[in-house]
Amino acid sequence: MPGWDAFLTEQDKAHIAYLGPRQKKGFGENPCMLVVDDYYSVLGLEREPILESIKTWPGSTGLEGWAAIDETVGLLAAARENNIPVVYCHGMESMRAPWAQRRKTSPERSDRLNHLPEEIRRKANEIVAEIAPQPGDLVIQKAAASVFHGTPFLFWLNYQGIDTVITAGETTSGCVRASVVDGATYRFHMGVVEECVFDRTQASHWMNLFDMNQKYADVIKKKEAIEYFDYISAK
């Protein structure tokens, strides 16, 4: 049973049952692997439950984020073993995302953040060591939610002849979704690896996976992604 079933209403379930199961869109013949925003400010430096981690890093996703990182390790290993290009994106260090500025920060929280040692604060936009980029990987800085907006990503995809983008990272409802919707708009085959994406809010995570799977992408298991990479390599 998909994880999003717990968040569907009875009317939703009846509607889906009437229409029948959704058929997968399928993937192309020349994929890349995209890792979205897996940096320390959304995970923290310690593996802690979210309600502990946010005391130091207000944007943290807690243990569910770290679980996705652990799954991503094997996914990236499979991509590299099969010569699938790997692309990372993360926010620009000099520009705070406007969508992250809606909450008023309490003086207590602000004081705690500002008094983090400088070397710790500098790690905020650093991709976590467990899945750090390797020589030959493409790393893109972005100033918007989507990796496509205002970056060379689209031009790189076209130059490389890429037709499929398999996606991991965070947040499911934010930068992952924005990138997936833009990718689908540009007519790429988009895949989202269920175990390797994560969010701060469980309901938002699952409902955005459901919605992407209904409209813009194939939400697949890590095992399916690896089998796809193996297939591409063996051709």
Query: Phi, psi (5° rounding) for residue 47?
Result: -85, 100
Helix/strand/coil (H, E, C) string of 112-152? HHHCCCHHHHCCCCCECHHHCCCCCCEEEEECCCCCCCCCC
Judge contact between 164 and 196, C-beta under 8 A: no
Q: What is the pLDDT of residue 32?
A: 98
pLDDT means per 10 residues, the chain with 235 residues, are: 90 92 92 96 92 89 96 98 97 60 47 64 88 96 95 97 98 97 98 98 96 96 98 92
Q: Which two tokens stand for residue 137?
A: 């990987």
Judge contact between 192 and 199, C-beta under 8 A: no
For the chain, what is the radius of gyration of the CA atoms? 18
Q: Looking up tokens 């002849």, which residue turns up?
A: 161
Across the beta sheet with 189-198, what order do the strands follow?
138-142, 86-91, 31-36, 164-170, 189-198, 218-220
Planar angle of CA 224, 175, 58, nearest 5 degrees: 115
Q: How far is CA 124 from the centre of its chain?
A: 17
The pTM is what? 0.91
Measured CA to CA, the distance from residue 201 to residue 98 in angstroms comes to 19
Q: What is the pLDDT of residue 21?
A: 81
